[in-house]
Amino acid sequence: MFPTTDTLVQPLRKVLDKFSLVRSATEAICKPLAIEDYIPQPIVDVSPPKWHLAHSTWFFEIFVLKTFYPGYKAFDPVYNELFNSYYNTIGNRTARNRRGFLSRPTVAEVYAYRAHVNEHVAKLESFITEKNEQEICTLIETGCQHEQQHQELLITDLKYILSCNIIRPTYHTVSIPDQTHTIKSAFLPVSEGMYQIGYAGDEFCFDNELGVHQVFLTEFRIQNRLVTNGEYMEFMADGGYKDFRLWLSEGWDLVNKEQWQHPLYWEQKDGEWYEFSLAGEHKVNKQAPVCHVSFFEAAAYAAWAGKRLLTEFEWEVAARLYNPELKVQNSQDHWIFQPVTTSENQPACQQLFGETWQWTNSAYLPYPGFAIAEGALGEYNGKFMMNQMILRGSSCATPYNHMRHTYRNFFPANAQWQFSGIRLAE
């Protein structure tokens, strides 16, 4: 995902201030970790924290410093191959499933790499010209947005890594709020008509949000809140994971192959359901939004409930209608990293932002007029527009400035380790 050249560019000093804040925030997420926590990669989808720290640094070194810092010397030339993610244009890279094999460079060396790149980016003001200012600013801003995406991935990946340890280690001790009430479910109407879709502002956005266009929607109703753990338990108790009629074919194959019986991180003990969180293991709260379910599970639950999932266009239109000012209850800034029940004094349609990403029934496809950018950064987005489903909103692990009505997140339909939940439509 890459901004177009007409994205508004802030003056370099302002972008560099943001760069400093973003870089510090990434390291703050890692502060509670022990050295041993930086290395594991239990599954291919999860990257080690050390790799996230290095790859987000690699991005600035490759795309900013090597182009705009005269005489810049790479911290270590071999890092280009070690920490390249999927940019074929740049050269060779470590296979994704082997990132956890990298015991070297050490964690200390990766932090030294970060400090080296930070120091040189901060000196870019010395090389600014009227000709290159916009491009430098755009690339630094893009790098900051990219690193914030990795901040969310750091949190989700850490949760999976720690969950694989039978001692159930805690990442933090921030208290999860008491949750004793459930907002009554209702379905809010959205009228039939033509609606504008896509980003039309003058701040940063990714190119997959661009291409403002009109869509026609028939009348529909959106659930005023997310599906709760308690409601999902009813689906489980009613044989939801055993009834093939509720499942898409590929999903049913996965249920049987992987023996899915409940959301990721749940475990039943003495008749009670427990879930693993970054604050440790605790009883599943029935009032909180269900989380860590795949698209297949979300679609099966919707079929069981006699409802359906929204399309991404329905979600965007309803979110603009019922939460135009983007009110957020929970976010990464609170360091809870756990979806919670909504409080009073919220918009009519609640939990659109800051709790869980919401699966839609839309495949990840380009908007009208989309074109892949030239060069290596063109690989950021367009080549992934296949075999992915769109999620909308944001989660409790999402940086606040990544929450907007038009943001298009995407993952394969079987993905569970993200903070993904369910909102129904009818």
- Summarised one tens digit per residue, pLDDT across range 101-148 is 999 999 999 999 999 999 999 999 888 888 899 999 999 999 999 999
CATH topology agreement for domains 12-163 and 187-425: no
Least confident of 178-192, 230-244, 252-266: 178-192
User: How confident is residue 42, by pLDDT bands cut at 50, 70 and 90?
Assistant: very high
pLDDT at 1: 42
pLDDT at 345: 61
User: How confident is residue 384, by pLDDT bands cut at 50, 70 and 90?
Assistant: confident
Beta-carbon contacts of residue 257 (< 8 Å; ≥ 6 apart): none
**How does pLDDT run across 265-299, given as a tens digit for each residue?**
999 999 999 999 999 999 999 999 999 999 999 99
Which CATH code, of 1.20.120, 2.60.120, 3.40.1350, 3.40.50, is assigned to 12-163? 1.20.120
Q: Which two tokens stand for residue 282?
A: 């605790």
User: How confident is residue 4, by pLDDT bands cut at 50, 70 and 90?
Assistant: very low
User: How confident is residue 175, by pLDDT bands cut at 50, 70 and 90?
Assistant: confident
pLDDT at 121: 97
Q: Which two tokens stand for residue 9?
A: 């560019």
Neighbours of 120 (CB within 10 A): 17
**How does pLDDT run across 327-355, given as a tens digit for each residue?**
887 766 678 899 988 665 677 899 999 99
pLDDT of residue 5 exceeding 50: no
**How does pLDDT run across 358-374, given as a tens digit for each residue?**
999 999 999 999 988 77
Higher-scoring residue by pLDDT: 86, 207: 207
Determine the average pLDDT of the residues in 47-68.
96
Determine the average pLDDT of the residues in 15-32.
97
**How does pLDDT run across 59-82, given as a tens digit for each residue?**
999 999 999 999 999 999 999 999
Beta bridge partners, 308, equal: 425
Percent of residues, the chain, with pLDDT higher than 70: 96
Q: What one-character DSSP code corresponds to residue 178?
A: P
pLDDT of residue 8 exceeding 90: no
Cα separation, 126 vs 22, whole angstroms = 22
Q: Kindly report each contact of residues 154-157 with a partner whose C-beta sits within 8 Å and lies 24 or more positions away, as own/partner.
A: 154/26, 154/29, 154/30, 154/49, 154/52, 155/29, 155/278, 155/332, 155/337, 155/397, 156/397, 156/417, 156/418, 156/419, 157/46, 157/47, 157/48, 157/49, 157/52, 157/417
Q: What one-character DSSP code corresponds to residue 143?
A: H
Domain ranges of the chain: 12-163, 187-425
pLDDT of residue 380 exceeding 80: no
pLDDT mean across residues, the chain = 92
Q: Which two tokens stand for residue 361?
A: 């029934």
**How does pLDDT run across 387-407, given as a tens digit for each residue?**
999 999 999 999 999 999 999
pLDDT at 206: 94
Which three-class secondary structure string do you get for 282-298?
EECCCCCECCCCCHHHH
Least confident of 125-129, 207-211, 299-303: 125-129
Percent of residues, the chain, with pLDDT higher than 90: 81
For 187-425, which CATH class? alpha beta
pLDDT of residue 233 exceeding 50: yes
- Angle, vertex CA 250, rays to CA 229 and CA 386, nearest 5: 100
pLDDT of residue 21 exceeding 60: yes
CB 94 within 8 A of CB 65: no
pLDDT of residue 381 exceeding 80: no
Of the candidates 229, 222, 263, the one whose C-alpha atom is nearest the C-alpha of residue 341 is 229
pLDDT at 10: 57
